[in-house]
Amino acid sequence: MTSLDLDAVAGTFAEVRDLTVGVEEEFSILDPDTHDLAPRFEELRAAADADELLRESITGELISSEIEIISGIGEDMDDALARQRERRRRLFALAAAGGATLGATGTHPWADYRTQPIIDTEHYRRVERDLKYVAWRNNTFSLHVHVGVRDIDRAVRVCDRLRPVLPLLLAISANSPYLDGRDSGLQSARTQSFTRSFPRCGIPDAFGGWRAYREYIDFLCRTGSIVEFTQVWWSVRPHFSFGTVEVRICDAQSTASESEALASLMAACIAQAARDVDEGVRFTDPAPRLIEENLWRAIRYGLDGRLIDLEQACEYPAREAIERLCAWTAPVRAELAIDPAFPERNGAQRQRQLIEAGASREEVFAAAIEETRATYAQEVRV
């Protein structure tokens, strides 16, 4: 999974089938009574060994109070979601049987990062050793989507085209106003905590193709900066082991329907970017400083704010991000039968509405936990 055999990467991407889909959802593990983070990953991981499907679908993510469920390779979006629904159902049943609750917000509202144990794997021992405070501070939960993209040069160019799209996806997904026991005033405190802190993270440079990207990875290896490619934490990246383009900008979603809608839109964006590359659609890489303006606005205001049309140099209501991305991806969505539907308010907006009505942080989090319990534990249709 973490190979740095760069000579093998082209072969991996040459063999994949276009537009397969994989979904990865991260959940917090909670005490059912207090809703505090509960470091019980190893216990749930061991219990999952009795379930042949879960055994291959559960993985850890840095801290012992976090658990990830992965769909594996879906033939298309519908197949990936069907696979993920069954795995979720079993995961939530496993957690309930073990006396745990699962949460799905981008951050935990009041957890003390100083008390969270790191899981004992070679990869995460290395992460902790190399990053120290930056690793300890990262108690965050997100949604990732992989789409198969044949040809590594093409995959890098797809990543380039997705750079200005990433802040729009983040604004749509914003679901983490709380951090360190207080209202952060942000819509995605997760992004500020993780993306702004980790090295080689956030919006990548535009590389133009595999040659430049390979030179960059080779530079990191030769200078002792990384020893495995997953230490490149960009918000979009070619995944060397899977032959996919992976988008990893979004907060975890409190409801299953939102997670599925967002995953579907993310997959459609990757597919449309690939189509645009194939058809030679005109594209100019925006300067990083311009994309950063939209990234900050997505972090701070989510869908409540205004984003910038980088080509026209004018603002528009952030809520229009959904309409704009759906319009851009309409050709591939029609072919792939992808039609995501989003609620009137996203997770951060619903939490903010409760906050403004006088609810305590405990009440706000409890409401989000109930949304998660009521939707993820059963099959949900978008």
User: 68-115 pLDDT, tens per residue?
Assistant: 999 999 999 999 999 999 999 999 999 999 999 999 999 999 999 999
In whole angstroms, give the CA distance from residue 365 to residue 35. 8
Contacts of residue 77, Cβ cutoff 8 Å, sequence gap at least 6 = 21, 263, 264, 267, 336, 337, 338
Quick check: 241 pLDDT over 90? yes
User: 349-362 pLDDT, tens per residue?
Assistant: 999 999 999 999 99
CB 172 within 8 A of CB 322: yes
Q: Where are the beta strands (DSSP E) in 182-310?
A: 182-183, 201-202, 233-234, 236-239, 244-251, 306-309
- Number of Cβ within 10 Å of residue 103's Cβ equals 25
Confidence of residue 4 (pLDDT cuts 50, 70, 90): confident
User: 164-201 pLDDT, tens per residue?
Assistant: 999 999 999 999 999 999 999 999 999 999 999 999 99
Q: Tell me, what's the pLDDT at 3?
A: 56
User: 277-335 pLDDT, tens per residue?
Assistant: 999 999 999 999 999 999 999 999 999 999 999 999 999 999 999 999 999 999 999 99
Structural domains of the chain, ranges and CATH numbers in brackets? 6-374 (3.30.590.20)
The closest of 161, 329, 190 to 261, measured between CA atoms, is 329
Quick check: 225 pLDDT over 50? yes
User: 47-76 pLDDT, tens per residue?
Assistant: 999 999 999 999 999 999 999 999 999 999
- Following DSSP, what letter does each residue of 190-202 receive, concatenated? HIIIIITTSSSEE
Quick check: 380 pLDDT over 90? no
State residue 309 phi and psi, 5-degree precision.
Answer: -75, 105
What is the end-to-end Cα distance of the chain in Å, rounded?
31
Q: Tell me, what's the pLDDT at 381?
A: 43
Quick check: 372 pLDDT over 70? yes
Question: How is residue 22 written in tokens?
Answer: 């994989």
What is the identity of the amino acid at 342? F
Helix (H, G, I), strand (E, B) or coil at 171: helix
Q: Tell me, what's the pLDDT at 382?
A: 36
Quick check: 1 pLDDT over 80? no
